[in-house]
């Protein structure tokens, strides 16, 4: 009977860890979205910047940083989720996280192609 309070505390700690992992991924996603958005907005803000290649480097660089941020977020979430799943804690499905990352990355790349 004395083991039950410890088990309950462990279950709650694992749940908090799962939620923290989801919040961390959300932060990576916000960072990626911001970077991609600023990169695409740069073409409007600095449309007459000369030399023209500098604007393209800025746009592609910021969108690339956004995609990289998503990759870091997915990797971090995948590792945490894998460790938690082994302990029996359920997290957001990995296909959902990966799908979100692919969709946002694809939109960023499509945006670069459209503004190029």
pLDDT tens readout for residues 96-107: 988 999 999 999
* 3-state class percentages of the chain: helix first, strand second, coil last, to nearest 5: 85, 0, 15
Percent of the chain topping pLDDT 70: 93
Indicate the average pLDDT of the chain.
87
Alpha-carbon distance of 109 to 102, in angstroms, equals 10
Cα gap 32→76, rounded to integer Å: 14
pLDDT of residue 6: 67
Among the listed residues 84, 70, 91, the one whose alpha carbon sits nearest the alpha carbon of residue 27: 70
Contact 115, 40 (CB under 8 A): yes
Q: Which pTM does this prediction carry? A: 0.80
Q: Report pLDDT digits (tens) over 63-115.
A: 999 999 999 999 999 999 888 888 877 788 888 988 999 999 999 899 888 87
């Amino acid at each position: 009977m004395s083991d039950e309070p410890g088990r309950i505390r462990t279950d709650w700690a694992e749940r908090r860890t799962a939620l923290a992992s989801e919040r961390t991924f959300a932060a990576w996603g916000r960072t990626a979205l911001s970077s991609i958005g600023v990169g695409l907005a740069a073409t409007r803000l600095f449309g007459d910047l000369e030399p023209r290649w500098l604007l393209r480097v800025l746009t592609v660089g910021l969108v690339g940083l956004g995609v990289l941020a998503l990759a870091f977020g997915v990797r971090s979430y995948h590792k945490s989720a894998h460790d938690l799943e082994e302990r029996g804690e359920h997290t957001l499905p990995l296909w959902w996280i990966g799908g979100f990352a692919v969709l946002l990355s694809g939109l960023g790349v499509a945006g670069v192609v459209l503004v190029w």
